[in-house]
Chain A
Amino acid sequence: MTETLESLFEPIRARIAAAESQESAEDVLRQVERETLDKGGVVAALLAAIPTLPGPERPLAGKRANELKGAITLALAEARERLATRAMERERAGSGFDATLPGQRAARGGLHPLVAVTRELEDLFTSMGYVVLDGPEIETDYHNFEALNIPRDHPARDMQDTFRLDPEGKLVLRTHTSAVQARGLKRLAEEVRAGRFAPPFRAIVPGKVFRQETTDASHEHTFHQMEGLVVGKDISVGHLIGAMKTLLRGVFGREIEIRLRPGYFPFVEPGFELDARCPFCKEGCSVCKRSTWIELLPCGLVHPNVLKECGLDPEEWSGFAFGLGLSRLVMLRYGIDDVRLLLSGDLRFLEQF
């Protein structure tokens, strides 16, 4: 028995050390492992040789074989740990990573911009206790005109070129969401009579409206509006101003100067045009037609005749109404220059939102 533990281990240690610098380090380590520790390996050969040794040498030979096995196992484990650490550090160094490669393309859906803006307004108004009302696109002449203090032969009918469904004009495509006012007020009158009503009544009515007019980039025969209606005790122009300022704060996210000027709409008295200080400029731009004011919405106090027609006593009740051009607001918000895109169904347009 001439070989010492050292002389036996040294060549193996050297092979393991050499393996670490090789490309296929793990393969070489596996090879070393097989040749030393597996069946038929060096350690097994040492153990197999023990019975051939003289009795007194046997314990020592056994011990030496086991020590060799332990040393190899440890050396292999250490080598592997070093290799793993080195590989991890290499990965952490991030070499070869292209930071400009794009991410996975996720297909997207989306809300229509009109819906997105309508929702914002609904959220704003419902947070103040407004209810959202709906009404039909095909309306009776009564709701669209008569009940709103616009009798037949009234010149105000010229202001709204109306699609008629029959020669007598009994049915029309509603020209404004104001058509829902009468429906809302009549229901309100019932609640008042039933003693169920806690004023003020607050409602908004977003929806589609129609005007018989030739279309171009700024005119559409079909567009969207949002009516607002508040009725209570002693509702005043001051309340209207308050509500409009709140509306604009919600829409533009900051305080916007407004002005009310006289405007004529038969279903309000007094009636106003509300202008907002142009949010896009200081000295005049194309949006405000160089005036620094944007004509934003018509509004006014509900005409006593409308209240009366719907069964509410104008001595007891007063209210205000406004009609916001949703399509126009959406165009302003997103810088859309052609109103016809809104209802085009064109994916190249819809995918931008």
Chain B
Amino acid sequence: MHLSYRWLQRHVDLAGISPEDVRTNLTLSTCEVEGLARFAPALSDVTVGFVAERAAHPDSDHLSICKVDVGAGELVQIVCGAPNVARGQKVAVATIGTTLGADFKIKKSKIRGQESCGMICSERELGLGDEHNGIWVLPDETPIGKRVADALDLVDWVIEIDNKSVTHRPDLWGHRGMAAELAAIFQRPLKALDTSLPRTGDWRPWEVRVETDDCPRYLALPIDGVRAERSPEWLRRLLLAVGQRPIDLLVDVSNFVMLDLGQPNHLFDRTRLAGRPIVVRKARPGERMQTLDAVERKLETDDLLICAGEQPVALAGIMGGEESKVAVETRELLLEVASFQPAVVRRTSARLGLRTDASARFEKNLSPTLALDAAGHLVRLLSAIQPDLVLPAPLADAGRWKDPARTVRVRPDIVRKRLGAPIADGEIVGILTRLGFGVTSSHGGLDVAVPSVRATKDISLEQDLVEEVGRIFRYGNVPEHRLEGSLAAPPVDRRRALVRKVEDRLAGVGRFRQTIGYSFVADALLAKLGLAELPHCAVINPVAEGLTRIRRAVAPSLLATVEHNRRHAKEVRLFELGKGYRPECAAQNGEPAEVHELVLLVAREPAAANARFDDNALAALRGAIDDLCFGLRLEAPAFAKVEHVDGAPYLHPGKTLAIRLGEHELGWLAALDPRVERELGLVGEQKSDVALATLFLDALLAAPVREKIYRPMPRFPGVKLDVALALPAAVAAEDVRVAIERAAKGLAGAIELFDVYTGPNVGPGRKSLAYHVHLESDERTLTDQDAQKFLQRVERAATELGGDLRKA
């Protein structure tokens, strides 16, 4: 919404208060000001000139050569193309160096061989409307050489208000309301405004039937003897300043009243109504009407209509009808000023996508009392311009409306307590009075009479008046306070502590980058991962097609980034802590079940053929999970091969592991299905070895923490030796480790697998596993004899496993 500084001055004296002051003070006390700009800035740069001579251009039949006096002594030659330029006119001249609009700088030029030192401007070129039939001819008495803006007193400023910041203030949707704020802030009186209706004739009032509760008040007033002529300049300028295009006096006055008082109104061409009564009713099923923007509207039964008899003539509170709108030949009007149910106007205008200045105001809940003021204001403005105006009939006032004015009890102590500022009773009363509230003291409190225009919405509670006092008192004057309370230890937040430990461990020794993904998952990705058929929560108004669904699990979000990241990185290590939603397990109120997951992903260049057994993504991730559990002081997790994981069909069917901690199901770890790798574009340069894991945060939280217990260092030297076993390929490494441990008879300090070999040295169908083994005892120094006995037992174990001990 735009406000004109000059317009505000119609209601309050702003002498000594600059537009910048207005901006700052509205910002600090009332609403958000988005901008402050000069109205028609070009006006301040152009000069009043006098066309001293005019001659036809020798080489053109439409150009004139003018000698113009701009008060600089010598006459200036200007070539002008306007048909209406004539000797003896006062005109607006943009001299050399003047900038019009954003980047149109006037330069000395030659037009068809004739020198031209400036431009004689039209109103449109100066931002004064869209008249472009010729140059702007100024009144004869305009003084030559002065700036046009000063000479014609056209200086104005446009203040732009953020509409959202006045959503709750229907009274601020017009200049008078804003002026009242300034009056309260600057402690100046609000100028009186006579809105009483002039004398009316003795016809019968226009018949109005309100058939719905959604129209609390409907005023109808016939007006005769008007003409749709050009509005006076002051009216046109004010409308232009706030971005409203002047049309003709009737339309302009109607708009002016809306922008002045905030009350929309409508003028019907009365002859079009043909004597039929105004009926306010809900639309009927399948009903249609053409609004005055010439669009045919399909109506629904919730829409509110203004009808002439049976025929819809306006979409209540939003837009008038095409048929009955005022036109050039209109002489007889019916003025409508009404109040409508805000929700009804809002729903219809939202459904039709038809937001108008009127609907924006009705949505905010206007006071029914404002309607009468607006009717009187409009008639008085119009009759001042067209004195022939007559009101043949008294005002029709229909509807069951109630004055929303009310009294709210305010305790000054509560005002001080809520604001935390020592404001004296007298100051509280003073501020409220300046804001237009009626204040009476009684029984140690204040009875505050809330005027109708403030009572529809904004002010109903004591706390609402605390705000009124606070904003005029200024929050900047409130001293800073510290919270006080008992020093109880805050509750232990185990989940958050766990999350932090997980993050630190993974981002630290784990060398993972944390990421945060969107909750939305694209249909295209779900299809690639084979998840399209699973139930997903979905929005019905997505930002893009195919982006409706909310993830059930976090893993797809990470998979979505792999291809892009592998373009730039040889190794991708990511983790995310996030939420997924499962609609099939919804609570009673429909809320879907929420899962908190930790997802890790490693994607890297495929390992070389001769790479070590643990030089791959799956082993890297497995090691990271081992380390994470160690860092979280959990037991070492167990990994068990499983056929598949529910809800994750994108995993490698032969390389999927369940992760368990005792009886706790912690999650899963798997390589990515090679088919899915291809789907995700991980081919060619981006061919990748991908593994991912999901751990359930709730399971991690439930897993028992084992505090670490110190074990004394060995007192006796041990024996270090390496053993290598050649075994059938099917033997699991874990079985071999157990066999070695058993062979050590409790003396095994550490058993570390360091090589897995298949190849000609062990023969087909066989593999070699090599271990570093450290034997040690708490009781004695171990000898070579102990080592020999151990090797003999390992050899027997190897035989039992179908293989043999390889001799070095």
Binding site for B on A (CB under 8 A): 107-112, 114-115, 119, 122, 126, 128-132, 134, 136-140, 142, 152-153, 155-156, 158-159, 163-167, 170-171, 173, 198-200, 202, 208, 210, 212-215, 221-222, 230, 232, 234-239, 241-243, 245, 259-264, 266, 269-273, 301, 303-305, 314, 318, 342-348, 350-351
Contact = CB atoms under 8 A, between A and B. Distances in A.
Interface stretch (B391-399, B412-420, B523-531): B412-420
A153 B346 contact: yes
Given A238-B419, A238-B421, A263-B165, A348 B568 contact: yes
A1 B467 CA distance: 124
B517 interface: yes
A345 B478 contact: no
A342 B517 CA distance: 9
Given A128-B483, A139-B591, 15 more contacts: A109-B508, A110-B507, A200-B484, A236-B418, A236-B419, A237-B421, A237-B475, A239-B420, A261-B28, A262-B471, A263-B165, A266-B168, A269-B464, A269-B467, A305-B461
A311 to B, nearest CB: 18
A234 to B, nearest CB: 5
B539 A165 contact: yes
Interface stretch (B242-250, B317-325, B558-566, B683-691): B558-566
A153 B343 contact: yes
Contact of A136 (B27, B347, B560, B594): B594
Interface in B528-579: 537-543, 550, 557-558, 560-561, 564-565, 568-569, 571-574, 579
Nearest to B487: A129
7 contacts: A109-B573, A198-B485, A212-B541, A236-B478, A261-B27, A344-B561, A345-B516
Interface string B7-29: 00000000000000000000111
A259 B496 CA distance: 33
Contacts of B486: 198
Contacts of A108: 511
A96 B641 CA distance: 55
A136 B31 CA distance: 33
A284 B169 CA distance: 31
Nearest to B505: A109
Given A138-B592, A165-B538, A345-B515, A199 B485 contact: yes
Contacts of B466: 269-270, 301
A109 B510 contact: yes
B164 interface: yes
A132 B539 contact: no
Interface in B460-489: 461, 463-464, 466-467, 470-471, 475-476, 478-488
Contact of A260 (B475, B520, B579): B475
Given A238-B479, A241-B480, A241-B481, A155 B490 contact: no
Interface in B350-369: 363-364
Given A163-B539, A237-B470, A239-B481, A136 B591 contact: yes
A269 B461 contact: yes
Query: Which applies to chain A's interface (DSSP): helix, strand, loop or mixed?
Result: mixed
B346 to A, nearest CB: 6
B103 interface: no
Given A112-B514, A128-B483, A270-B466, A237 B167 contact: no
B585 to A, nearest CB: 13
A165 B537 contact: yes
Given A270-B466, A303-B463, A345 B560 contact: yes
A238 B478 CA distance: 6
Given A212-B541, A304-B461, A114 B481 contact: no
A251 B168 CA distance: 32
Nearest to A202: B483
Nearest to A128: B483
Contacts of B514: 109-112, 115, 350
Interface string B401-432: 00000000000000001111100000000000
B590 A170 contact: yes
B373 interface: no
B476 A350 contact: no
Given A199-B485, A318-B418, A345-B557, A259 B540 contact: no
A164 B537 CA distance: 10
Contacts of A126: 490
B553 to A, nearest CB: 14
B456 interface: no
Contacts of B760: none
B418 A155 contact: no
A241 B591 contact: no
A112 B516 contact: yes
Contacts of A222: 518-520
B450 to A, nearest CB: 15
B591 A138 contact: yes
B481 A262 contact: no
A200 B490 CA distance: 12
A273 B32 contact: yes
B518 A343 contact: yes
Interface in B318-346: 342-343, 346
Interface in B592-610: 592, 594
Give the 5 A-B CB pairs with smallest separation, nearest first.
A238-B420, A236-B420, A270-B467, A345-B561, A153-B343
Contacts of A351: 513
A345 B480 contact: no
A214 B483 CA distance: 41
B503 A345 contact: no
